[in-house]
Structure 1
Amino acid sequence: MLRKEYDAHVRRYLWAGHFWSGSYFAGSCGGAPLTVVQQYIERQQRPAS
């Protein structure tokens, strides 16, 4: 929808034509309790140091 309505403006913010960055994430948890979301995040694998 954003690209259809504001293509000329958002084109400046795209990475290879996508709204994506390797260092950023946005998501939805569908109304899950915060404790469930926190446990899910804490159980994710960490990047190798």
Structure 2
Amino acid sequence: MLDEETIKKYVEAGRIACIVKKEIEKYVKIGMKIIDIARYIESRIIE
């Protein structure tokens, strides 16, 4: 059985992991937009 202090640490770690995940997703979306723009420019140059 986990004591209350250990449970609090797990809850806090889960909350931090959730925040980090949201931040990473934000930067991945920005990165994907940059890649899409680069592909568009590349396709216009090739034409």
Higher relative contact order (CA 8 A, sep 6+): 1
Greater helix content:
2
Considering the TM-score relative to the shorter chain, is it more than 0.5? no
Q: Pick the structure with greater CA Rg.
A: 2
